[in-house]
Amino acid sequence: MLCRRSARLLSAVSNTSTFCNAVSEKRIARLLFNEKDGEKHGNSDAWKGVALLGGGAVISGVISSQDSEDDEDEEVDIDHDAQKAQGTRYKRTRMFRHFCAFSSLKYKTELFMTGEDFLKAILFKDQNLGSTRYTDLTHLSEDEYQQILDSAPSLDQETRGLFRSIGKVAVISYPEYLFLVSILSKPRDHFLKTFQMIDVDSNWVLTKDEFELVEKLFSKGLVEDSIENTTLKVHFFKMDGTGVITFDDFVHFLDGLQKECLEVEFNEYAKGSGRIQETDFTELLLSRTLLSEMEKDKYRGRISTRSGVDSGISFFQYSQFMNLLNDIHDLEIALRMYQIAKKPVTQEEFQRAVKVCTGTPLDDKMVKLTFKIFDEDGDGHLGHEEFMKVMKNRIRSRGTVNVEIPPKSWRAFRKCVHERMMVAAI
């Protein structure tokens, strides 16, 4: 997770961010409310409302981990072993705590994840991590560390999934983990921005030195040498550091990363059948969110009473829906515009909004399923605030977890009051 100083630095470097926000809003508004079948789709009042949006819409930064007020860089306790291993090299945020809990390797004073550790950390369900370590810690000798580096696949070596292929024979550092998590839910148009920010000399190839700037960015600002070699660095830049990454290589890697995480998640529920049921999809959607069990039960109840003959959901349908996360901020703008125009979001309008924001329509089955889950009263209109809350929770919890709330904190008090009021209203 970026500290505020780093976030301001990135904002200064990306001096077109405000302009891009405005352009994004204007583009979506034009496509949603422009002429449709010879008639105006919307009205002048809608445009007045759109104008009020200004630059207020949230378009995610190029390299940012989470965008919740509860996910700021608060200091948290970490287990003693991790604290001893990492010292003061990194800021001890909840992301750092999560990394330490799943890191299974230690070399000298540094903790590392394997490919298997990384996937476990990303797809971890339990939101109450506490101070538990979820894997045994193995101390590597210099020879063992070098053997792991020697086994790193080359950039041109095709694998079905990089992190599954490297399995337990890999070393992934904490800065690399933060970088990977930060780009997991980014749309393809952000790949270019990310690449350009790392490409300091703007020659359209990334060198090892440029890649290591990311590592320094995620450190606590201390002047320390970067980790000489890791599995990812050898994969990208060869053992001697002379390799380079082209933009095509970069996009291929990020596409593969996103697809691999979705495949692992889907296969966990499909159990070899190649399809998941609607109830499983609902559980999968609600898992790894920070919603209370009371909130989750509300959605479970809807899908259990509204499901008919269930033919199952394919991986293509599932991945298409989950890829909405990559464009969730644009979709939020679109749905807000319908709200401002006082137009209900029907299945047809939701499909239109998705196509405007992603460029491709969503499978009809997934549109119907979305309304089964998020149509509160069954009137055929999307409860878009509920929909956005769940989808944003999916993004915020990916690769990290919510630290348990201290019992005497103001946040705990608010949460308790809210839940008591919800119970009283039932």
- Of the candidates 390, 415, 388, which has an alpha carbon nearest to the alpha carbon of residue 289? 390
Measure Cα distances from 381 to 279, 369, 386, 410 in Å: 21, 13, 12, 35
Among the residue ranges 109-123, 128-142, 186-200, the one predicted with the least confidence is: 128-142
Calculate the average pLDDT of the chain. 76
- Confidence band, pLDDT 50/70/90 cuts, at residue 243: very high
pLDDT band at 272 (very low <50, low <70, confident <90, very high): confident
Residue 132 pLDDT > 80? no
Q: How many helices (H) and strands (E) does the chain have?
A: 21, 9
pLDDT band at 69 (very low <50, low <70, confident <90, very high): very low
Are residues 89 and 220 in contact, defined by beta-carbon separation less than 8 angstroms?
yes
What integer pLDDT is reported at residue 217 of this predicted model? 73
Query: Which of 83, 123, 257 lies closest to 180, judged by CA?
Result: 257
61 pLDDT more than 70: no
pLDDT (0 to 100) of residue 43: 43
Instruction: Indicate the pairing of strand 105-107 with strand 138-139.
Output: parallel
Indicate the helix (H) or strand (E) that contains 103.
none
- The yes-or-no verdict on residue 333 having pLDDT over 80 is yes
Q: For residue 381, which of 413, 405, 345, 409 has the smallest C-alpha distance? A: 345
Give dist(CA 390, CA 412) in Å, integer: 20
Contact, 115 vs 164, CB < 8 A?
yes
Task: Give the sign of the dihedral formed by CA 168, CA 170, CA 175, CA 180.
Answer: negative
Please tell me the distance from the alpha carbon of residue 331 to that of residue 182, in angstroms, as a whole number: 19
Q: What's the whole-number mean pLDDT along residues 42-65?
A: 36
> 24: number of CA atoms within 13 Å, CB side?
25
- Residue 34 — very low, low, confident or very high, per pLDDT cuts 50/70/90? low
pLDDT at residue 26 is higher than 60: no
> 3-class SS at 313?
strand
